[in-house]
Chains A and B, each alone.
Chain A
Amino acid sequence: MKKEKEILKWLDGELSADEIADLKQSEDFDTIEKIAHYASHIDTPKINAEEALAAFKNRKLTKKKTKVRPLYFSTVFKVAAVFVVLLASAYWLFLNSNQTFETGIAQTQTFKLPDNSEVLLNASSKITFNEHNWDKQRDLTLEGEAYFQVQKGKTFSVKTTDGVVKVLGTHFDVKQRDNYYEVSCFEGLVSVTYNNTTVKLPPGKSFRVINKQIEKTDDFDAQTPSWLQKESSFTRVPLNQVIAELERQYDIKIETQGIDTSKLFTGGFTHTNQKTALESITIPLQLSYRIKGKTVTLYQYEVQ
């Protein structure tokens, strides 16, 4: 289409008289002019606006009213919301502040309780206690093994799935693992409750439960648990418990081949050298081991 720009401008009424005269001179403009002229005379339904409006108003129409809330109303809500948030956070901060300490494999952690009692957490262990209530109730829950140096004061309870230990102010170690529960007293007096039996332990005494059987234990004369010196020591403990402890301290998986793991073991292993540790267990029992990745297999030396 020739002069398209001009034609479009003309239709939009933006062309001056001179320009229109120019445009009219151009060839085959007459068709365009006719189109433009006749198209504007197409009949459309003529609306009587007033009548249509009257008909429109006869319809039953309802405005959707936007609810107008006075400003102070929302302010009240805002203030209330702030209070709710404050109360909720205060509750969490002061009333329901359950504190948790947890260690992974081959980790230990030392921390202080609100009354300055000290806790040393051995590998793969977890302690939970309520910080806010500590003044009234020195209660904590233990999974795993921990050594406590408790400040004198109200009764201090250590709850485990196997039993409850209650003290007033002492140094003691609690070890609760699968099918194994041992409490050793290093200072003061410790009261252990297991299945309705309560035993009082003076320093150098232990209370041990293996596979739900209370075991007789020998006295010891160590001042602190051996694991504080990065060693684990055992006196007449089934081999499977020793192996479980080894796995916790070295992040390895131990398998056994043709070995009676209920055999009792007396001895210890270090936490700092895996080779030495493995040897400290295998040599006294006349075992051998091989390492494949993170898996260690123990087997009878003679068999191979």
Chain B
Amino acid sequence: MSDKKNNLCEESYFSEFYIKNVQSATNFAYYKSGDSDAALDIVQDAFAKIWENCSQIDYTKVKTYLFTTVNNLFLNTVKHQKVVMAFAKDTPALDKTNQSPEYLLEEEEFKIKLQNAIASLSEAQREVFLMNRIDGKKYREIAEILDISQKAVEKRMSGALKTLKEQIENI
């Protein structure tokens, strides 16, 4: 691996890193802000910082650096607001075989409840929960990216689940 050291300054290696991570970094910014336009801007700025400082960044930590930078830029630029996220239009129902209108309506209602419940999560819970759910990241990977322990990730996951379950069942 040591031969890859400092390759971050090499355009081909940087591009590879960029393509690999731009989507999940943008998602991450989106989980924080709920603003899809601002998300990509922030991520582009973060990549620019990495490129500018490519010689000083440890390549093994560059992913953490990327997400930390996104986080910091987000804190600097975006005002905290209620983050309401929409579902993809083609979201399949959990039970694909059941196409009865009652079931589908029920599921739509559930989705609205879930949407509101996710908006009520703390930022820390939401980003961890969604990185796991949407980006399919393992706890270990999330821990590394956020520079926290895996135990902390699990705690946030469980906290998020609890809040979501309570909110959905109470409404």
Interface residues of A (CB under 8 A from B): 1, 4, 7-8, 11-13, 31-47, 49-50, 52-53, 55-56, 59, 61-66
Please provide the chain B residues from 1 to 55 with a CB less than 8 Å away from any CB of chain A in the complex: 9, 15, 18-19, 22-23, 26-27, 30, 36-37, 39-40, 44, 47-48, 51-55
Is there an interface contact between A59 and B26, defined as CB atoms closer than 8 Å?
Answer: no
Nearest CB of chain B from residue A231's CB, rounded to whole Å: 76
Is there an interface contact between A4 and B40, defined as CB atoms closer than 8 Å?
Answer: no
Is there an interface contact between B87 and A38, defined as CB atoms closer than 8 Å?
Answer: yes
Given A32-B165, A63-B55: A43 in contact with B88 (beta carbons within 8 A): yes
Is B70 part of the contact surface with A, judged by Cβ < 8 Å?
no
Is B104 part of the contact surface with A, judged by Cβ < 8 Å?
no
Nearest CB of chain B from residue A208's CB, rounded to whole Å: 76
Is there an interface contact between B26 and A66, defined as CB atoms closer than 8 Å?
Answer: no
- State A179–B117 Cα separation when bound (angstroms): 94
Interface residues of B (CB under 8 A from A): 9, 15, 18-19, 22-23, 26-27, 30, 36-37, 39-40, 44, 47-48, 51-56, 85-89, 91-92, 94, 107, 110-111, 114, 118, 129-130, 132-134, 136, 138-139, 154, 157-158, 161-162, 164-165, 168-169
User: Closest residue of chain A to B162, judged by CB?
Assistant: A1
User: Closest residue of chain A to B45, judged by CB?
Assistant: A59
Nearest CB of chain A from residue B100's CB, rounded to whole Å: 16
Is there an interface contact between B161 and A32, defined as CB atoms closer than 8 Å?
Answer: yes
Contact of B94 among A33, A43, A47, A49 (CB under 8 A): A33
Shortest 5 CB-CB contacts between residues of A and residues of B: A45-B36, A41-B91, A40-B133, A39-B133, A43-B88
User: Closest residue of chain A to B47, judged by CB?
Assistant: A56
Contact of A52 among B22, B30, B86, B158 (CB under 8 A): B22
- Known pairs A39-B129, A56-B44, A63-B51; list 11 more (Cβ under 8 Å): A8-B157, A31-B169, A38-B94, A41-B92, A46-B23, A47-B40, A50-B19, A52-B44, A61-B48, A61-B52, A63-B9
Given A56-B47, A63-B9, A63-B52: A42 in contact with B134 (beta carbons within 8 A): yes
Is there an interface contact between B52 and A56, defined as CB atoms closer than 8 Å?
Answer: no
Instruction: Show 28 A/B contacts (Cβ-Cβ < 8 Å), sorted by A.
Output: A4-B158, A8-B154, A8-B157, A11-B133, A11-B157, A13-B136, A13-B138, A31-B168, A34-B110, A35-B161, A36-B133, A38-B87, A38-B107, A39-B134, A40-B136, A42-B130, A43-B86, A43-B89, A44-B27, A45-B36, A46-B23, A47-B22, A47-B23, A52-B44, A53-B18, A59-B44, A62-B52, A65-B55
